[in-house]
């Protein structure tokens, strides 16, 4: 199973474990074992997406969907689609031509476990499958809702979202970025998909714009806080806990929040962002307590 978050409240820990477990079953149903001649492709897809990570985005989808009493099966399908997109981006990011990371979560990356060609194709197929899942009538009976999910995932993940952010990230290896550009990069690379994860619950529940906006803003601030703490952990954390080498960004010559503002300011910025994120949730009252816990956890996490 996915490693448990280290400093989560017992309530948050239980809720995250529950989502991770049910997501795993959903992913396994969507990606069954096969003995077709092209099986290595599906093996690599399963290797890239199963049994991995904190499942932060799926957790956001499922918990946001609960605010609108959305059927949990539907929420899990959308969560699975978003996690496929997140994982495909990791598979491609790890490739030799990109970040050249032999390890992911302490295990060999997909291109090491299989080979580069299979890793490229497995990423492509995961991205494609995400859209197939969202557009299927099992995800929602209203085709308007399904189309909106497809459009918003594509916008969050494409050239003006995640992939554009990865391009910026690569450019940043040879160019010094100012804080504004680093913020924009992170918003594109990770923020937009997190925003979509939170908003997807509201889309499934056909929520009104004020509630959608609250979730979008919550995710925006939390996503940025998450990235700032990622940069802090990159400098401070124990590699045996994070499963990746320390000072990776610094070694790659990348500008990060820490390199640009110093570690103390970065910690203050993360706290400020989390406070701001939590304030966006006031429209949901006590029903959003678990999302508040999640925000607090981002500050205290050690991996």
Binding residues for a copy of itself (CB under 8 A): 36-38, 40-42, 45, 88, 92, 95, 97-98, 115-118, 120-121, 123-125, 127-129, 131-132, 134-137, 142-144, 146-148, 150-151, 153-155, 157-159, 163-168, 170-171, 181, 188
Q: Note whether 231 and 257 are within 8 A (CB).
A: yes
Q: Which lies closer to a copy of itself via its Cβ, residue 162 or residue 278?
A: 162
Q: Which lies closer to a copy of itself via its Cβ, residue 169 or residue 231?
A: 169
Alpha helices per DSSP H over the chain: 10-30, 39-49, 56-66, 72-93, 110-113, 116-135, 143-157, 162-171, 179-186, 192-204, 209-236, 239-242, 248-251, 257-261, 263-279, 289-300
CA distances from 56 to 52, 102, 173, 262, 298 (A): 11, 23, 27, 27, 10
Q: Which lies closer to a copy of itself via its Cβ, residue 54 or residue 140?
A: 140
CB of 95 to a copy of itself, least distance (A): 7
> Strand pairing partners for 104?
107
CB of 53 to a copy of itself, least distance (A): 20
CB of 123 to a copy of itself, least distance (A): 7
Q: How far is 301 from 303, CA to CA, in rounded Å?
A: 6
Q: Which lies closer to a copy of itself via its Cβ, residue 170 or residue 246?
A: 170
CB of 234 to a copy of itself, least distance (A): 21
CB of 84 to a copy of itself, least distance (A): 11
Q: Which lies closer to a copy of itself via its Cβ, residue 17 or residue 131?
A: 131
Give Cα 2 to chain centroid, integer Å.
14
What do you get for the CA distance between the two ends of the chain, in Å?
Answer: 16
Q: Which lies closer to a copy of itself via its Cβ, residue 168 or residue 225?
A: 168
Q: Note whether 78 and 204 are within 8 A (CB).
A: yes
Q: Give Cβ neighbours of residue 303 (< 8 Å, ≥ 6 apart).
A: 3, 5, 6, 233, 237, 241, 242, 243
Q: Which lies closer to a copy of itself via its Cβ, residue 2 or residue 121?
A: 121
CB of 159 to a copy of itself, least distance (A): 4
CB of 239 to a copy of itself, least distance (A): 25
CA angle 129, 132, 133 (to 5 degrees): 90
Tallying the residues shown for the chain, one arrives at 303
């Amino acid at each position: 199973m996915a490693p448990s978050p280290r400093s989560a409240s017992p309530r948050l820990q239980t809720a995250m474990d529950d989502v991770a477990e049910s997501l795993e079953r959903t992913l396994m149903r969507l990606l069954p074992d096969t003995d077709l001649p092209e099986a290595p492709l599906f093996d690599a897809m399963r290797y890239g997406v199963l049994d991995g990570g904190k499942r932060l985005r799926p957790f956001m989808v499922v918990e946001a969907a609960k605010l609108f009493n959305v059927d949990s099966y539907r929420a899990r399908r959308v969560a699975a689609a978003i996690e496929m997109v997140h994982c495909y981006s990791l598979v491609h990011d790890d490739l030799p031509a990109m970040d050249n990371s032999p390890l992911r979560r302490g295990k060999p990356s997909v291109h090491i476990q299989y080979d580069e060609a299979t890793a490229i194709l497995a990423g492509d197929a995961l991205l494609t499958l995400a859209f197939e899942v969202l557009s299927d009538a099992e995800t929602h009976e209203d085709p308007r809702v399904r189309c909106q999910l497809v459009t918003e995932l594509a916008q969050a993940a494409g050239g003006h979202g995640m992939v554009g952010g990865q391009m910026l990230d690569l450019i940043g290896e040879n160019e010094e970025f100012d804080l504004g550009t680093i913020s924009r990069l992170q918003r594109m690379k990770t923020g937009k998909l997190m925003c979509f994860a939170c908003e997807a619950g509201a889309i499934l529940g056909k929520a009104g714009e004020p509630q959608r906006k609250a979730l979008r803003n919550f995710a925006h601030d939390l996503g940025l806080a998450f990235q700032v703490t990622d940069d802090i952990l990159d400098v401070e954390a124990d590699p045996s806990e994070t499963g990746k080498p320390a000072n990776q960004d610094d070694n790659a010559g990348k500008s990060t929040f820490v390199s640009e503002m110093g570690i103390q300011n970065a910690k203050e910025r993360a706290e400020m962002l989390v406070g701001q994120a939590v304030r966006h949730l006031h429209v949901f009252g006590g029903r959003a307590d678990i999302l508040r816990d999640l925000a607090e956890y981002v500050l205290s996490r050690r991996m």
